[in-house]
Amino acid sequence: MHRRGIIRHDRTTLMSIFLGIDGGGSQTSCAIGDETSLLGSGSGEGSNVLRVGEAQARKSIASAIHQACAAAKITPKQIKRTCIGVAGGARPEMTEIIRRILSELVSGEIEVVGDMVIRDRRQPASSSVMSAISPKATHSRFIATCR
């Protein structure tokens, strides 16, 4: 609820909260879910570090996470585990950069994987990230990684 520019986060839960991010070159999509449902989603500009640089990637990821947390009525401190798929995510130097960015934004465990791990190329990026967060979805590779 908004009052004088303050966002009230009022979701309390005993369930674990997961954050899934697809960090693409032109768009960043993310979704927040618990063990049973999708709670919120957000998007931002591209966050592929190789394409947009570290500063822009940080800004885009932060924007998408902020939107998703607001929609889910949680704070980033409530996130138990984050999994992000990015191009080059299997490379140690890329993993280090992305892990550093996320550790400034969220709490909990962070896993960085290549974008091919989370995306079914037949689906739009936002669809695959969101469906992956929900265990009821047909494309659920991502939630298995996040758990």
Mean pLDDT, 10 residues at a time, over the chain (147 residues)?
A: 43 75 91 88 93 95 97 95 89 94 95 75 46 39 44
Range of the domain at 30: 2-146
> Can you say whether residue 110 is alpha, beta or left, with left for phi > 0 and alpha for psi between -120 and 50 degrees?
beta
d(CA 69, CA 85): 19
Alpha carbon 100 to its chain's center: 14
Model pLDDT, residue 73: 96
Mapping DSSP onto H, E and C, the string for 10-54 reads CCCCCCCCEEEEEECCCEEEEEEECCCCEEEEEEEECCCHHHHCH
Nearest residue to 108 via CA among 76, 135, 86: 76
Number of domains in the chain: 1
Q: What is the mean pLDDT of the chain?
A: 78
Placement of tokens 């693409």 in the chain: 24
List 42's β-bridge partners, or say none. Answer: 30
Q: Which two tokens stand for residue 13?
A: 């839960």
For residues 45 and 67, is the Cβ–Cβ distance under 8 A?
no
Strands 81-86 and 18-23: parallel
Q: What is the pLDDT of residues 36-64, one digit of tens each?
A: 888 999 999 999 998 999 999 999 999 99
Report the CATH number at residue 72.
3.30.420.40
